[in-house]
């Protein structure tokens, strides 16, 4: 791996992957339409080539894929609630956009493609912990579109000499993650806390989530790309879970202050419990999460105080 393209590289997870690639001496091109990303997140190094464009534009893809040996495909319309509100856009970006990325990879002889998938493909969980063999019955357009894109990547990996790896992220949090009303509970809660507003827990707060720090996710992408012969779909998570009520307690500890908390009705499309098995990723490319939730939250709150306040 030398020359890399990161689609969606100005976004939360993408910018962390770009930073890791740059630190390890790789040539990096970023393709991003800045619909949710931030250009300054990836322009801290003059060695990053940034192209303002969309994965639904074949010309932009040809410009950025040419010469790349590895693609990290993160550009997406993200989130269950957003997909329910905008199902057509969700599929246009996540399904048709991924087909265009795969076609560009085929045209230009890309060796490896690492696709950012989601635990949303599973739907309501039947067994815990969740292995890759768990039934996939998504409950939202987002889960369905990410599953369709996964299947497309794996099919292209069978048809053409592209090693395709799909990484199924659970609840990712960390630096560069900004507030999004459709997004992850951690930036929502931290944003509200910074503004002195109440944190609203949907439901009783005893639902559980498997949170993984974005630095571990970046390492997972790097490991999957570096290991020759690795193909298929893998869970990327911490392999542990906490309740939302306990998460609020940890956020309060990170702020060093009591926060006002309220409760609201459960959100449509949310699963009750989540916990991943990460044994397959550990065996295939040595994935090992290293950032504990408490320390990860402290780092994120410190970043958010500086960047978002």
Q: Indicate the Cα dihedral angle 38, 42, 48, 49, nearest 10°.
A: -10
Catalytic site residue from 115, 142, 156, 222: 142
Give backbone dihedrals phi and psi of 241, rounded to 5 degrees, phi first: -140, 155
For the chain, helix, strand, coil in percent to 5 are 40, 20, 40
Cβ-count burial of 267 within 10 angstroms (0-12 exposed, 13-18 middle, 19+ buried)? exposed
Q: How far apart are the first and last CA of the chain?
A: 38
Tokens 């969980």 sit on residue: 125
Give backbone dihedrals phi and psi of 74, rounded to 5 degrees, phi first: -115, -15
Both structure tokens of 160: 């053409």
Annotated active-site residue 182? The verdict is no
What whole-number distance in Å separates Cα of residue 241 and Cα of residue 57?
39
Q: Which of 262, 287, 55 is nearest to 169 (CA)?
A: 287
List the catalytic residues: 142
């Amino acid at each position: 791996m030398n020359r890399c393209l990161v689609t969606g590289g100005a976004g939360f997870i993408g910018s962390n992957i770009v930073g890791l690639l740059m630190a390890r001496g790789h040539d990096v091109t970023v393709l991003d339409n800045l619909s949710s990303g931030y250009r300054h997140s990836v322009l801290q190094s003059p060695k990053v080539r940034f192209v303002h464009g969309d994965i639904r534009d074949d010309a932009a893809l040809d410009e950025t894929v040419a010469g790349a040996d590895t693609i990290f495909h993160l550009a997406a319309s993200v989130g269950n609630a957003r997909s329910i509100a905008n199902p057509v856009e969700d599929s246009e970006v996540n399904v048709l956009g991924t087909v265009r990325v795969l076609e560009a990879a085929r045209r230009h002889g890309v060796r490896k493609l690492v696709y950012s998938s989601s635990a949303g493909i599973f739907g309501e969980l039947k067994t815990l912990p969740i292995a890759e063999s768990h039934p996939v019955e998504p409950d939202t357009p987002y889960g369905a579109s990410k599953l369709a894109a996964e299947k497309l990547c794996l099919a292209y990996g069978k048809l053409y000499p592209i090693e395709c790896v799909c990484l199924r992220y659970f609840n990712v949090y960390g630096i560069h993650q900004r507030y999004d009303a459709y997004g992850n509970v951690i930036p929502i809660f931290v944003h509200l806390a910074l503004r002195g507003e109440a944190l609203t827990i949907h439901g009783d707060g005893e639902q559980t989530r498997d949170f993984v720090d974005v630095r571990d996710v970046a390492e997972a992408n790097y490991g999957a790309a570096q290991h020759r012969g690795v193909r298929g779909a893998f869970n990327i998570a911490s392999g542990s879970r906490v309740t939302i009520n306990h998460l609020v307690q940890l956020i309060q500890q990170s702020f060093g202050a009591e926060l006002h908390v309220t409760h609201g009705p459960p959100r449509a499309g949310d699963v009750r419990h989540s916990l991943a098995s990460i044994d397959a990723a550990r065996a295939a490319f040595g994935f090992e999460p290293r950032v504990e939730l408490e320390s990860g939250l402290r780092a994120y709150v410190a970043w958010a105080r500086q960047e978002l306040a």
